[in-house]
Amino acid sequence: MTVQKILKALILGAPASGKGTISSRIVKRYNIEHVSSGDKLRDHIQKQTELGKEVKSYLSQGKLVPDDVMIKFMVSELKKVQDKSWLLDGFPRTVAQAQAIWKVEPVNIVLNLNVPFEVIIDRVKNRWVHLPSGRVYNIGFNTPKVMGKDDVTGENLTQRPDDKPEVVQKRLEIYESITRPVIDFYKEKGILTHFEGRTSDEIWPKVIAHLDPIFEKK
């Protein structure tokens, strides 16, 4: 791959496959922007903006926000970071979204996380999040120093309404039927790499081995 000054990367993977966890390590190591569609939507819901009110029920039911709303929102979010290298997480999630973003911001690198579904279902029960920052914890994996509190700010952690078992099941079904074809979209472009593992610690060294040469990190 040609090394470019500004890199536009995507991370794909099923719900709770570790996109947020791996993304936070990537943005720290390579000093790039993390743009998570889910974190941004949850922030709007918490602040009760017009968009937040519009999308709230989709998130709580584990359904996808309609493409027209999502594309408009993310295109405007990406404009804010257009002069920087970024890592997009959670978008695109439909082929229509992938086609739309390809027209305005063609990406250079796509990472796909492959984690078995039984591992995922087990994980979400123990997830706690710090909504303002998107920092994510898991009891037994990266347990907060003080139970129920964010390590950095000391503020309260919450559990996501869409982490209830029946909603997780719905999210996984939607992933299989609607989001999986997005993988093929990028496979055809020749820019997709798969990373398999049961834990983020198993996947992370493979991600570094792939990205270090691209980011020219010694």
Active site residues: 19, 93, 127, 160, 171
The answer to whether 200 contacts ligand G5P (rule: CB under 6 A) is yes
Q: Return the number of the residue (66 or 213) whose C-beta is nearest ligand G5P.
A: 66
First to last CA, the chain: 17
Residue environment code for 176-200, b if the CB has 16+ CB neighbours within 10 A, otherwise e: eeebeebbebbeeeebbeebebeeb
Q: Return the number of the residue (106 or 213) whose C-beta is nearest ligand G5P.
A: 106
Distances (CA, A) of 94 to 33, 111, 174, 191: 22, 16, 10, 17
Which amino acid belongs to residue 159? Q
* Distance (Å, whole) CA 173 – CA 193: 23
The residue number whose beta carbon is nearest to Mg ion equals 20
The answer to whether 58 contacts ligand G5P (rule: CB under 6 A) is yes
The answer to whether 91 contacts ligand G5P (rule: CB under 6 A) is yes
- For residue 77, the minimal CB distance to ligand G5P (Å) is 11
The answer to whether 127 contacts ligand G5P (rule: CB under 6 A) is yes
Q: Which residues bind Mg ion (CB under 5 A)?
A: 20
The answer to whether 38 contacts ligand G5P (rule: CB under 6 A) is yes
- Contacts with 6 (C-beta within 8 Å, 6 or more apart), sequence order: 83, 84, 85
Residues 93-122 interacting with ligand G5P (rule: CB under 6 A): 93, 97
Exactly one of 7, 9, 12, 17 binds ligand G5P (CB under 6 A); which one? 17
For residue 133, give both structure tokens.
């920052």
Map residue 30 onto helix, strand or coil: helix
Q: Could you list the residues that contact ligand G5P (CB under 6 A)? A: 13, 15-21, 37-38, 41, 58-59, 62-65, 70, 90-93, 97, 123, 127, 136-138, 140-142, 162, 171, 199-201
